[in-house]
Amino acid sequence: MSKPQEVLIEYEDIERANERLDDKTVVKRTPVEQSTSLGEFVGGEVYLKMEHLQWTGSFKTRGAYNKIKQDVEDGIEEFVAASAGNHAQGVALAATKCGANSTIVMPKTAPQAKVDATRDYGATVELVGQDFQDAMEYAQNQATQNDDAEFVHAYDDRDIVAGQGTLGVEMHEDCPDVDTVVIPIGGGGLISGISTALKQLSPETRIVGVQAVGAETVHESLDKGVPVTLDEVDTIADGIATGGISSLTLNLIEEHVDEVVTVTDSEISRAILLLLERAKQVVEGAAAASVAAILSDDLDVRDETVMPLLCGGNLDMTMLQTVLIHALTEREQLLQLRVRIEDTVGKMNEVSGVIANHGANIRTVRHDRSVDDLTIGEAYLVFEVETSGTEHARSIVESIRAEGYDVEEMNRK
């Protein structure tokens, strides 16, 4: 079963959704904190809306509960959804709280932590396909074949969008004088709901959406006037890796959103690390995209009060490790060096001593002898070194060269 879609939602839909979200064990009011560190970086005042501290670790429960609560009152007891993780947990918790059953189809590539959490919230999980689009197609077919089941779309549903819009009401109440809000975009349900609320409550507030470069669809969709779907997505921000938006969300974005920018995975990685270091917050890539946007050259928020939305905190630990290694390597706090030596006794000890004299820790070292450009009797020593940053790295390299060694910084390739 599915409900007919109307073109847009109104602020009154969000008000009614707010009234339904009356169970604080399902949806709670999340805090706002000022980040003076980020403010210094951007030259303005930065207030973080910390929705990653929501139950289930993301905003998704708002929309899912708004929809499922109404449907259960109408007699529906079975729900099917497709998700890479956060929508899955929102639907699972909402259905369980409403006394209904849920089946969630997730791609086989979904982080195990999100799969386990979805099951813990009471859902039956099926792993299908390699990406969100594969899971979506399978889930929709399952719902079509079961007359008693309702498909819960992650963003192409008025009730879902209205539920996400309750977050916009909170953001306005938290910071009524905000100049700019920055909201991640995957399928567009979140920014559609928030922008509908904010343009009613604070029309002068600038609303900026942000997409990952490897999953960007909004600009082309706006240009063509129809939703564009990507065959493949490539981003660490799995929460916004839907690869497409809907007609509903496209229309709402076109009506209410002032600007859309994109950020790279490298920028997202830097934002994750910066939030860890300066704000002491662990967020996933989709949430960090909003902070990456205000730090980028594409968005000027100088002298403004700006509120980036941290929409989710379900960061897989394997992904965290990958992000940290990438970001630290980019900062040269993880320095990779290749030193050409005569392959004789004591050379590794000699080079290692130079590094140790700078107070740097050698994480790994290996000999490479089977390289074309080496002559007989030569080898490469390949070091991975922990440093305090670029200046420290430069001094280590200069000291090794001063000892007569040919050294190459692998980070700079």
> What are the pLDDT digits (tens) for 217-233?
999 999 999 999 998 88
C-beta of residue 164 within 8 angstroms of C-beta of residue 192: yes
> What's the chain's average pLDDT?
94
Predicted TM-score (pTM) of the model is 0.90
Token reading at 68: 């499922």
C-beta of residue 140 within 8 angstroms of C-beta of residue 36: no
Q: How far apart are CA 171 and CA 152, in angstroms?
A: 25
| Domains, the chain, with CATH or none | 11-58+168-326 (3.40.50.1100), 62-151 (3.40.50.1100), 331-412 (3.30.70.260)
| pLDDT higher than threshold 70 for residue 5 | no
Q: How far apart are CA 134 and CA 344, in angstroms?
A: 56
Nearest to 166 by CA among 249, 257, 253, 67: 67
C-beta of residue 387 within 8 angstroms of C-beta of residue 332: yes
Q: How far apart are CA 42 and CA 302, in angstroms?
A: 6
- Find where tokens 């099926």 sit: 126
Residue 1 pLDDT: 38
Nearest to 186 by CA among 270, 250, 243: 243
Q: How far apart are CA 49 and CA 294, in angstroms?
A: 14
Nearest to 87 by CA among 3, 6, 190: 190
Range of weakest confidence among 162-176, 373-387, 399-413: 399-413
Q: How far apart are CA 24 and CA 225, in angstroms?
A: 39
Length of the chain: 413
| pLDDT higher than threshold 70 for residue 2 | no
| pLDDT higher than threshold 50 for residue 4 | no
| pLDDT higher than threshold 60 for residue 3 | no
Provide the CB-side half-sphere exposure for 402 (13 A, CA).
8
pLDDT digits (tens, 9 = 90+) for 382-391: 999 999 999 9
Which residues lie below 8 Å from residue 351, measured CB to CB, with a gap of 6+? 339, 341, 381, 383, 400, 403, 405
Q: How far apart are CA 192 and CA 187, in angstroms?
A: 10
